[in-house]
Amino acid sequence: MDTDEAIAFIKEREERIGGRILYRTYSTWYGRIGKEKREYGVFLYSDGKSFIYEDFERNPQILGIPIKTKNKAKYEKLEVSFPASDIIEIARVTKRSAEVSLYNGKDLSRHPNILDKAFRAIVTKVVLKNGDVLFFELMEPKEFEASARKFRSNA
């Protein structure tokens, strides 16, 4: 169930994009080859035409208690969008191979085998027409794939 704060947030986003949000989820980990990586994840949503993802400033915590750090890096807001029609591939890959891809600056991701599926984290890889490769650790990856397929076919 959405809190009043969450409802207000969704309404503000809908006003900004000029339409209703038809799909939304949270990615607990995110990366884009050659660009950025977020260990704490991003909010991902769609109006049916485009997918938008953004992060939020997150202060370090231990067991929910904020801690102060001396060398805190300056926070820069991440907000990126891409047309649903630009998605050319969606695949499930191992998180480890996604991390290797981010580190090396090229797609070295690999599909999980049976052991990987049982013992390793699996993430969703999204490849766009412009060559961008994004990785999302989604809470409901099958729901994302179904929504992306539907929005691509309507575009």
* Other CB atoms within 10 Å distance of the CB of residue 69: 9
**pLDDT single digits (tens) 93-137:** 999 999 999 999 999 999 999 999 899 999 999 999 999 999 999
Phi/psi-derived region of residue 18, left when phi > 0, alpha when psi is between -120 and 50, beta in every other case: left
Q: Any idea what the Cα angle at residue 40 is, between residues 141 and 67, rounded to 5°?
A: 155
> What three-state secondary structure class fits 114?
helix
Tell me the two tokens of residue 28: 């607990």
- 44 touches 56 (CB < 8 A): no
Look at the chain and count its residues: 155
pLDDT exceeds cutoff 80 at 2 = no
**pLDDT single digits (tens) 34-78:** 999 998 889 999 999 999 999 887 666 666 666 676 666 677 788
- 124 touches 144 (CB < 8 A): yes
